[in-house]
Structure 1
Amino acid sequence: MKKLIIFLLLGCFGAAAAINDPAFQQAGGKVISHLQPKERPLDLSCDPFIIVDPDFIFQTGNYFLNCYPAVTTRIYAGNLTENLIVTGVCPYEDGMVYLSLSNKFDYSNSLEITPHNGQIDTILYIRFCPGWFDRHALIYFNSSGCSASADIIVDGEAGNAPVSTLGNILAEPGSSVIVQLRVKDYNYIYQAHYFIGYNPSVLTFTGLGAYIGWFTSAWATVISPDSAFLEILFECPIDVYMECPDYEKLAELCFDYAGGATALTFRDCSFINVYQLVPIDEPASDYYINGSVGPSVRKLQVKVLPEGLYDPVSDSLNPALGSNGPVYPEDVSDQITLALHSVMPCHTGIFSADSVFMDRTGIASINVPVEFSNNHYLTARHRNSIETWSAQPVSFADCMVNYDFSLAQSQAYGNNLKAAGNRFVIFSGDINQDGITDPDDMTLIYNAASVFASGYLVSDLNGDGQTDTWDMNILDNNAAGFRQKVIPCSTQLPVSITDSVLVVDGISAVAYGKVTKAGTSPVTERGFCWHTGSEPKANGLHYNSGNGSGTFSGMITGLNYNTKYFIRSYGINNEGAAYGNQIIFTTTLYSQGNGLTDTDGNYYNTVIIGTQEWMAENLRTMSYCNGESITNITSNDLWNNTRSGAYCWYNNEISYGEIYGALYNWYAVADDRKLCPAGWHVPDQNDWAVLRSLYLDWHITAGEMMKAEYGWVTGNGNNLSGFLALPGGERGISGNTPFLHEGSMTKFWCSSEYLIGHGFYLNLDQGPAAPMAERSGNFGHSVRCIKD
C-alpha cells in the first residue's frame, strides 16, 4: 500500500472552517490562498490522485489547552481502487486531533472514506485540541496506487504584546525611589525581556523589589556618564506561563536618586508567549509607555544679611540672643521668611516659608514645590527688617536655585540694600512690619528701652538681647532716610489670603479667605479662582464674593469627581488682581443624592457615585412596594425552611435596625411585589460590577472605599465612595448561632439568581476588597437599593 500524505499545520491560536462555513467566518477566519480543484494541474497518469481545498486558512483567537472550532476542507480524489484512510497524529502525543465527515458526534482520530466509482468529493471536519507542546497536527491519507500529496495549512497570529507602563516619580534628592512597572494584557507569557534606558548620574539601580515571575534577573549597564540601560529578564519553565492582572505591577524597580531628572525609556523589548511565538508590539508607542524620575522639590538657597546682626569685621552674623544666651543652635543666627511672587501681576505671593533658619554666614535654605518652575520674584523678610525683593525675577527651572543679596546693591529691586564692609545688607528697623522705618517703629523701640526690656525681642535690632540706644541708633539712621519696602509695582494691589477649603463632596467645596489690605484703590471684586493646573486666574473659573476688604467665603460648585484642584483667593482694584496663597484639594468620588422614602415612610439618605444613585443606608422596610407586609420570622426553624420572602432584625432586636437596617432572605429580594420603593430596585450583578470596576478598584480597595470610617471592630474603611457600609452581620442557617459577624462583616444581596433558590451577594469584611459570591437564599443579608 502506498501512502498519500496531506500535512496539516494547526496554529496555536485557533483552528478554522471552510471559507463558506458560517462558523469559520464568525470566528474571524480568512483564506490566504484558495485554488478551485479544476484550476489545479492534474497528472492523470498518476493513479490515484487527491486534492484538498482550501490551501491556507488563518484564524485568530486563543484556545490554549482547549479544542479549537472545527476546520473544514474539501477532499477531491479520483482513480481510487480502495477506501481512503485518513488519520490524525500529534507529534508530542499530549494533544489530540479528531476527524469527522458530519461534524456531529462521530469524531475520531481516524476514519475510512469509501469512494464512489473510484472518486471522492466530500468535506472533512477537523478539530485540534493542543497540549503543552503540541501546537501542530499531521493528517495522513493512505491509499494504493502512485503517490500524490497536497498541503492544508491552518495557522494563527501571535497576538499583541502586553502594554507596559513605567511610573513618573517625584522625589527628594538623596532618597531611594521605587518605579513601578505595570502591565495590561500580560497573559500566557513565557518570557519577557525589557531594556530600559536612563541617566546613571541621576539614578543608581539597586535591585528589584516585589515582582511576578518564576526566574527573574535584572542588571544595569553603564554606557557613558549620562547613559545606561537596565535589562530585566522574566522567564518561566517551558511548560508553564506568567500572567499579571491588568494595571497591576509586574515589578518594582529600585533606585538611589541623586537629584536632577531622567526619562525612563523602553528600548528593544521583546516577549515570547507560551506557544513560543513573538507577540506584535508595533507601533512601540502603543505598547511601551515611558516614565521618568525627577525632583519633588527645588532647593532654594538664599544669602541675606540683616543689618543689625551683621559684623563686617568677621563677615558673619551674630547669633540672636535671648535672656539666657543664644536662642538657636550654635551655627544659626536667626530665622527669616522667604517668599516667591509672580511676575504679573506684581506683589502676588504664591509661596512662602516662615521661620527658616539662617546660619552665621547668612545662608537660608528651603524646598520649593516642583510645580513652581517659572521666573518669580524672590523676597526676604527678617522679623525687624525691611522686606527686600530680588532685582529681577529668578528662574526656578533648575533643581538648585541660588540667590545672594549680599553681592551687590543691584541685587535688590530699586537698589534697596545698604553697604556694610564688603557686603550689602538689608535695612533693619521695620519693627511693626508695615514696610517702612518711621516714627511708629521708633516709638516701639523707645517704649521697650525705657523699661530695659531684654530677651528675644522684635525691638532688639542688633540681637544682643537688650533693647537700648544701639538699636535706636540703627533705626534712627534708616528712618531719617525714609527707608521702605520697594516693590516692582509703582502702585499697590490688594493683599489677599486664602484661609482654608472644606471639601463637601465630589462636585462642591466651600472656600474661606480674606482681603487684609485694599491697596492704592478700593477693592471692586473679591473671591476665589480654581483650576486643575497651578496658579488659577480670576478670569478663569471663579466665584465672585462681592467687594471691599474683610473675610469672605464661597461655595465652589461644578467640580469633577475625584479630581485635584488648585484654588486661591483674589482681590481686584484699579491696579489689577492680586492673589492669595494657593491651596490644593481633591474632591471625593461621590455627591449627595436627593434621598428617598420607602412604603413604610422611612427616609434614606442617598449618594451619587458616577452615574449611579445608591441608598447610603441599609433598607429597613417591613412592606413590599405595593404595601403588602413582608413576613417577619424570628424562629430559626421557620427561617431555615421558608421558601418565601421574609425579614428579621439582627438578634431579633429591632434596635439593631436603627443602625444596620433589616436582614432579608433572597426570596424577599426576588419577590414580584418589589422590595425597593418605586423607581428603585435591588442591584443586579451588572449594577455592582459598574460600581466596583468603573468607579472603584474592586479587587484591591473597593471594600475600603465603601466601608464607613467607623463601626468596624478592625478594618475601618475610608468611605471615599460615600457608600457608608456598616458591619451589620448576617443571619445564617445554623440553629445554634443564627446571627453572626456583627461588627466585622456585612453582605448585600444581588437580585441576580445563581441557581433556583440561590442568589449572588457582595461581601465586605475586615479586608480592603469587595468580592461577590453566591449562596442559599435562606441566608439573611442587608439590602441597598439603586435608582432605576
Structure 2
Amino acid sequence: MQKQTIALVALFSILVLFSFCQKNNPARITKIKIIESSALSSTSILVTAEIIDLSAEPKIELGFCFSETNQEPTVNDAKSVAGSYAKSENIQFLLSELKRNTTYYVRFYITENSETIYSNTIQQKTLNLPTPVVLTKNIEFLKANLLKTNAEIISNEGSEVLASGVCWSKNSLPTITDLKTNENIASGFFNSNISGLHYGSKYYVRAYATNAYGTDYGKQIEFSTITPTLPVLTTNPASVITITGAVSGGTITNSGGLDIIKRGLCWSTSEKPTLNNNFTNNGNDLGEFTVYLSDLEIYTTYYLRAYATTELGTGYGNEISFKTASTYISDGDDNYYSTVQIGRQTWLKQNLKTTKYNDGTPIRNITNNIEWVQATQPGYCWYNNDETNKAKFGALYNWRVIEENKNVCPKGWHVPSYSEWLLLIAVLGGDNEAGGKLKATTDWELPNGGATNETGFTAFPNGLRYKSNGVFAGANKYANLWTTDQNTDMATVIYLSYLQPSAYATLALMNDGFGIRCIKD
C-alpha cells in the first residue's frame, strides 16, 4: 500500500511539472510555407504564405525577405515587414518597387524573441512591361482627415507618362479604379493631398504612374486616421492690471487634429465664461497669443478663459480670475497705472509708457537707428518700433529724458535714484535674491531664475536698445530700468536677468534705451 502511495505521488508530481513546462514553454511554430506567388507588374510580386500552429509567444516581426542572387534569402537581404498576427492564417503581401524582368528568390520569415524561422523558397520573375517606375516615399498628416503623400517617378521606361498621382482605399492594394489623385507629373518628385478621409479609419495608399503600356504602382503604405478632439489650450495669468484693463492670452498646445477657426479670450463677472459672454477673436494660429483687454469696470472681479474653435466645437483653457484696480495714476498721455507698496516705498506696477512730460511737452519718437545713435535730445521708442509692445514693456527712453529739467513721471511721482533702488533691494533680502521677487512669472525666457513676483512688482523683460548701433535686443531675457544717477557720460541702470534671481546695478551710455519705473514722492 505504501509503495502504491509513493508511486501515485511521484506520478502526480510528474504531471504537475509537465503542466508547468507546457505553460512556460509554449509550442513553437511548426510550419510556415509560401503557397502561391504571381507577378502583378514589372515592379511587383504578390506572395501568399501559410502559417500553421502559431505559438503563443509574441512575434517581434514577420514578413518576406528576398534577393536576386541568394537562393535562401534572409532578413539580412532585402525585406518587407508584413505586420503581426495572433493566430494561424494566410498572409498575402505585395513586394513592390522591384526591378523589371528580374527573377527574385523569396522566403517568408517570423522572428520570435531572438530566433528567426524561414519558410520554403520560391522563385518569381517580374513582368517585362515598360511601364513607369514609381516610388511611394512617405506620408504625413496635415490634419485629422487630410494626408500628404510624397512620391517619385524614377523612369518612364521610354514611354511618356500620361497620368500620375496616388490611389487609396480601405482595402489593401488600391488601384486607379479606387479613389485617386491626378498630379500630371511626368518625372521626379511630387506630392498629393488626400482629403475627405473618415475619422478613426484604416486606409491603404500607394503612388501610381501610367504610360501607354499600362500602370505601375509604388509600395503600399498603411495608415489610420485619428478621431479629432476639441483643442487643448491653457490660459495665461492676468498681468498689467489697471482700473479698466489687463493683459492675458493663451497657448494652444494641440488643435485636436483640425484647423483652428478662431481663438481668443472670453470673460465674464461670473465663473466659467464661454463664447456666450464677452470674447475676442485673435486669429487662427497655433501656439501662444496675447490679448489686451480694455473697457473693464473699476475694482471688479473678472473670470477669464482662453478658447479655440474648430469645426468640431470650442475648447477652453483653465479659468483664471483677477480684479481691476480701485485707484489709478495717469501720465501725460492719460495712460493709467496701478500701484504697489513694498516696505515704505510705493511704486507703479507698470513701466512708464508716456510720450510726453507731465507738463505736456512731447518727447521725440526716434525710430531710425542712426538718429538714435546720434541723438542729443530726449527720445523714446517702443521695442522693435512696434507699439504693440507698449502695454507690457512700456517705452524705452534714452537717459536724456531724465537729464532734462522736466518730470517724465506722473505728478507726485519721480524717476527713482540709485539709493532708492538700493533700499528696495535691501528690503527684499539683498541683490542675490531681490530680482526673483520683482520678476513676473510669465513672459520671461526659461529658466527665469528664482521668479516668484511675491512683491507684485511684476517686472517684465523689456529688453534694451543699444546706443552703439540702435539695434534692439534682450526682450524676454532682460529687464533694464533707469536711475537718476549720472557718472560723467554714463548713468546707472538696474538690471534683471532670466538666468538668475539677482538684481544689480551697472553703468550704461546715455543713448542706450531702457525702461523707467516711477516711485512715489
On whether the aligned pair clears a TM of 0.5, the verdict is: no
Structure of higher RCO (CA pairs closer than 8 Å, 6+ residues apart)? 2
Larger radius of gyration: 1
Q: Under a length normalisation based on structure 1, what TM-score does the superposition of the two structures give?
A: 0.24
